[in-house]
Amino acid sequence: MKRLLNKVSSIGKTTIALILIISICDLSNTFAQRRGGGGRASRPAGHAGGMNRPASRPANTGGINRPNNNVGNRPNINNRPNNNGGINRPNNTVNNNGNRNNGNRNNGNRTNINSGNTNVNINVNNRNTYVRQNNYRPYTRPPYVYGGRSFYSYHPYFYHPYHPFYWGPAWHPWGFFVAALATTAIVVTVANQQYHYDQGVYYQQSNGGYTVVQAPVGATVTTIPSGAQTVVVQGAGTTTTNNYYYGGTYYEKSDGGYTVVPPTAGSIVTSLPEGGKETKVGDVTYVKVGETYYQPIQQDGKDVYEVVKVDEVKTP
């Protein structure tokens, strides 16, 4: 009996030892798997030679840890200013209708005239309105001085209201727009600028039509309207020059016909065009057409206007 108990005890001890060995092996394998050792299948994928490198390393060609130079992540070239060759220059894009925006300004009396692809500023009031001095006829009356300027005239001031004159359906004031010209219109070029002339009126092409402008000094036409007024410019003694006046424009006879000239100081006209403005200068009211001053006077009992010469007062 004692021998049997010793045998059972020996078997129990062996069993317990086996159980402990098995348990220790299982724990060892589990611990080894957790540490990543002992098997290739447990290594992170994508690394050669079994080196224990981080699996989260960025993917780069050749395994070099360079910044991601993916071209798709570069700034969008299309977001650069639109310039030839991709150079970062100021954007010189062309605006609608191919017209470049070159100083398209609205300066007081200026009217923007769009001619083809170029913006042309036509000054509808101040163009070529300077006054020619009559060097052969000195003034016998003292000037009217006001505001630092001297206003010369040959005749005494006689106020009468300004009423624009109507030269008929073919005549239009400065700034007037027409969609098309009559077939009688001709082309006149002055200082490399092209104008269209028809029945005493000058036009320049604008966007979608033509705009009336002041007659350019130097333009020569073969004929002027039959209603033109003869203006006698008196010189020294019996010397006189005949100008021709129509619609606010002055002409002199020339070899090619009639050439546009500035008004001569002292010239007297019976009518002024639309677009003039009564301008108060001290106690005197002039009519200003463009930059030309006209003094209201009376001659032979009729209300007329004299071209005034204006000078800056010179201080000693």
Distance CA 173, CA 213 (A): 8
Is residue 80 scored above 50 in pLDDT?
no
- The SS3 of residue 278 is strand
- The SS3 of residue 35 is helix
pLDDT value of residue 234 = 72
| Residues 220/258, Cβ–Cβ less than 8 Å | yes
Distance CA 81, CA 101 (A): 17
Which token pair is 223? 């004929």
- Taking alpha carbons only, the member of 137, 109, 108, 106 closest to residue 119 is 106
Is residue 45 scored above 50 in pLDDT?
no
Considering only residues 236 and 141, tell me which one the structure prediction assigns the higher pLDDT.
141
How many other β-carbons are positioned within 10 Å of the β-carbon of residue 109? 16
pLDDT band at 17 (very low <50, low <70, confident <90, very high): low
Considering only residues 117 and 29, tell me which one the structure prediction assigns the higher pLDDT.
29
- The SS3 of residue 201 is strand
Q: For residues 230-235, give the mean pLDDT.
A: 82
Highest mean pLDDT among 51-65, 130-144, 169-183: 169-183
| Residues 272/305, Cβ–Cβ less than 8 Å | yes
DSSP run (H or E) holding 2: helix 2-35
- Taking alpha carbons only, the member of 253, 180, 191, 246 closest to residue 221 is 253
| One-letter identity of residue 226 | S
Beta strand segments in 91-248, E:
110-115, 118-123, 144-146, 149-152, 177-178, 186-190, 193-198, 201-206, 209-213, 220-221, 229-234, 240-246
List the chain domain ranges: 122-312
Q: For residues 213-229, give the mean pLDDT.
A: 95
Between 134-143, 214-223, 292-301, the lowest mean confidence (pLDDT) is in 134-143
Distance CA 168, CA 201 (A): 11
Give residues with Cβ within 8 angstroms of 128, minimum separation 6. Answer: 214, 215, 216, 217, 260, 262
Q: For residues 127-142, give the mean pLDDT.
A: 73
pLDDT value of residue 138 = 86
Q: Dihedral sign for Cα 215, 261, 142, 150, please.
A: positive
pLDDT value of residue 316 = 66
- The SS3 of residue 125 is coil
Is residue 120 scored above 90 in pLDDT?
no
Give residues with Cβ within 8 angstroms of 294, minimum separation 6. Answer: 269, 272, 276, 286, 287, 288, 305, 306, 307, 308
Is residue 79 scored above 60 in pLDDT?
no
Q: How far is Cα of residue 293 from the mean position of the Cα atoms in its chain?
A: 32
Distance CA 267, CA 234 (A): 8
Q: For residues 162-180, give the mean pLDDT.
A: 95
Distance CA 160, CA 147 (A): 23
* pLDDT tens-digit series, residues 146-157: 999 999 999 999
Which token pair is 24? 């220790």
Q: What is the mean pLDDT of the chain?
A: 73
